[in-house]
Copies of this chain bind each other. A is one copy, B any other.
């Protein structure tokens, strides 16, 4: 008994070597030289490999160290003080730049797409760079119908064969329309394939994954930005059913990522950069819809993983700057921030809630179906030969779209024009059939006066209105179907739903609008952000309660059918390591059930804090593929000292072999800070204390997995060590957790591809 006591005390003395022996050197911050060395002379340490997950805790620690160092230096010299101040404001400056750049790009995209869409139908003789509206701006014609047909604007048929018999003109126009569409689509798909494969798709699933801490190098690079911007214009112009929301979020994130390179604070720190990217996704939505607050909420509700209040304020600022820039560019020519300003004037009645809620239910059902169909299609494309011919696929879809779209006036328009058509008030200069005026001029002026007096609600429906409505409904359904079929294609998105939210003119079509909103809610599972976007887009303050009711119902219904939004479904389809924050982990497994090694496996590969040679460590690295190794006091006691990452270890050993004199295979590798007594003849030891993480996260074997999952989610961990009574027993990585969750949900655990 006494022996035991003595020896236990002896062991505890051993354990305490760092505590007793070199206490003064505990804090990493007391050895600034080491940190500088770490940052500067051994490049690569503290960085991550492609398709890996970052360690949020470590990144945030690094940033705090950096900040402290700057603050400390600032007390000594004026230059350092100025640097410290500029560092403090660099976050806001970066936000300003992102806002300006994204706003400008979005404005440019709007203008270019508008011009190229018109180019499909004809060209302006005054200058080919004018779009239809600008071309006819200075026209002298005063009647509505004539104004759109100004002599400066020629359709392709008029230009080529002159004004002749109606039939051949139509055929020729149709042919040119289809040809241009095919050309645009072909250019878009070729550009994406040749220069920036990452520019394909909506981009939101990937951005969501990146924001959760994953690394996809080049996804937000300059080539992606350039190609995505160009192809967005091309794809919108080609008439494919897609919106700008997703691509613009991607574009804004690319801007943010590129601009981050000019600020050391953000270039070097993956966690800080993700805060900036969260704000950038708010900017994307802000410029897509002219809805800055909706953008912030979209980032919060739908995209972001880690969204502290500081990021909220910065997003708010960046979204504001972007919206302001866009407004200054004024691509819609109405000097308003919002695309289409509409007011619902009539208060709604209590009973109306019933149809609204019913529409919410239908929308939710349709949304769930949409996700299902879309994923099924994408999976088919992924698993069969269908996916091998993307260029042909895009061209076929474009051809079909263009062929079908041309005959009906409303499908021929771009989404933006369609909305304008539906949304803008019937004014004196409006030639839309939806306004339904009779065309003889005498009765026209009378009806306009009557309308102005009676307000929107009391407008008389002209004979053309019903035809127009019917065509419109067909156009919208057509766009929706096309969207289902093409979601996975290179450049496409969802907000055709969002954009087709109008026809508020006629009381009956309000219901159609609610159905579309509900569908969007069912597809993306947005609630608050969707209502706010609608709110900002239309100014429909009166309808806030019905809108909330419809979106909430839609979310409930869709959630009851499947828990995943379209973005999450795509994340899962691609096997990204995304730890969903919405759903709680409900199973009663313990950490011991998930940790590696399993009971049948060989024991955990660990390093000891002293006593291993360079050769032994290198052999361990070569034999295993783990991305990190725990360091223990000794193989016998398995008492945890710290954790070292494989990448850091490899780089440091290579560096030591190359630059440190006298390091040979039998040199000792030391993770302690003070040298153990060694014989003077021994080769110099490799000291790796500076790459050792002395505060690894630990849980006990008894910790329920629900708590482990919670810790991983909230702290953004990469791995966590499992101990029992002070002994190291195993390790749990993010991938282990995701695999375990997949297994518990009866899915294939091997679908989780990345670490």
Contacts and interface: CB of A to CB of B under 8 A. Distances in A.
Given A633-B725, A702-B26, A715-B714, A3 B12 contact: no
Contacts of A308: 581-582
A542 B536 CA distance: 9
Interface string A626-668: 0000000100111111000000000000000000000000000
A725 B26 contact: no
Interface string A691-734: 00011101111111011001100110000000111110000000
A550 to B, nearest CB: 11
A12 B729 CA distance: 12
A439 interface: no
Interface string A389-420: 00000000000000000000000000000000
A640 B11 CA distance: 16
A541 B15 CA distance: 66
Interface string A543-587: 011001100100100000000000000000000000001101010
Nearest to A638: B12
Nearest to A708: B695
A318 B454 CA distance: 37
Nearest to A633: B725
Contacts of A347: 335-336
A369 interface: no
A139 interface: no
Given A7-B4, A313-B552, A316-B528, A640 B703 contact: no
Interface string A2-27: 01110111111001100100000011
Nearest to A609: B725
A537 to B, nearest CB: 9
A296 interface: yes
Copies of this chain, whole number: 2
Contact of A12 (B336, B536, B695, B727): B727
A724 B590 contact: no
A296 B64 contact: no
Interface string A54-70: 00010011001101100
Residue among A310, A317, A337, A528 with the highest chain B CB neighbour number at 10 A: A528
A27 B292 CA distance: 50
A698 B637 CA distance: 19
A588 B27 contact: yes
A549 B96 CA distance: 13
Contacts of A704: 61, 64, 695
A115 interface: no
Interface in A146-165: none
B695 A700 contact: yes
Contact of A724 (B15, B549, B715): B15
B590 A27 contact: yes
A312 interface: yes
A289 interface: no
A695 B699 contact: yes
A68 B744 CA distance: 14
B701 A292 contact: no
A636 B726 contact: no
B726 A582 contact: no
Given A292-B545, A320-B548, A637-B8, A328 B350 contact: yes
Interface string A588-611: 101110000000000000000000
A413 to B, nearest CB: 26
A539 interface: yes
A335 B350 CA distance: 11
Given A8-B636, A312-B528, A336-B347, A545 B324 contact: yes
A695 B702 contact: yes
A676 B320 CA distance: 68
A544 B293 contact: yes
A185 to B, nearest CB: 36
Given A528-B312, A544-B536, A711-B715, A11 B4 contact: yes
Contact of A61 (B4, B324, B707): B707
17 contacts: A11-B11, A15-B725, A16-B725, A19-B724, A60-B710, A67-B586, A68-B588, A293-B531, A316-B552, A327-B545, A335-B347, A536-B541, A536-B544, A694-B703, A695-B703, A695-B704, A714-B714
Given A317-B552, A723-B726, A726-B726, 8 more contacts: A9-B636, A15-B724, A19-B724, A64-B584, A323-B545, A696-B700, A714-B714, A714-B715
